Amino acid sequence: MPEGIQLNIGRFPWLGVVQHSFHVGGKQAFAITGAILIHSTYALAAAEDVARILPQTLQNNTKLVLWKSATEKFALEVHDYVLHPEYVKGKTTASIALLDLVPPAAADFSDYVAPVRPICLPTGGLGSYENIYSVKLTDITGELQKEVHKMNFVSRDKCDQYYYEAQLHYEKMNPISPVCAVTANATVPCVWDSGTALITRQSWGFWQLVSS
pLDDT at position 37 is 94
Tell which wins on pLDDT, 96 or 176. Answer: 96
pLDDT of 106 above 80: no
pLDDT at position 114 is 80
Query: Could you tell me the CA-to-CA distances from 143 to 73, 137, 207 in Å, in that order?
Result: 15, 10, 25
The amino acid occupying position 164 is Y
Tell which wins on pLDDT, 191 or 155. Answer: 155
Q: What residues contact 132, with CB distance under 8 A and at least 6 apart?
A: 150, 151, 152, 153, 181, 198, 199, 200, 210
Domains in the chain: ranges and CATH: 9-111 (2.40.10.10), 132-211 (no CATH)
Q: Give tens-digit pLDDT for 118-150.
A: 998 876 655 556 688 888 887 777 777 888 888
- Region label for 171, one of left (φ > 0), alpha (ψ between -120 and 50) or beta (otherwise): left
Tell which wins on pLDDT, 103 or 93. Answer: 103
Beta-carbon count within 10 A of 10 CB: 17
Tell which wins on pLDDT, 175 or 77. Answer: 77
Beta-carbon count within 10 A of 56 CB: 7
pLDDT at position 163 is 72
pTM, to two decimals: 0.82
Q: Give tens-digit pLDDT for 1-37.
A: 667 777 666 678 899 999 999 888 888 888 888 999 9
Are the C-beta atoms of 119 and 14 separated by less than 8 Å? yes
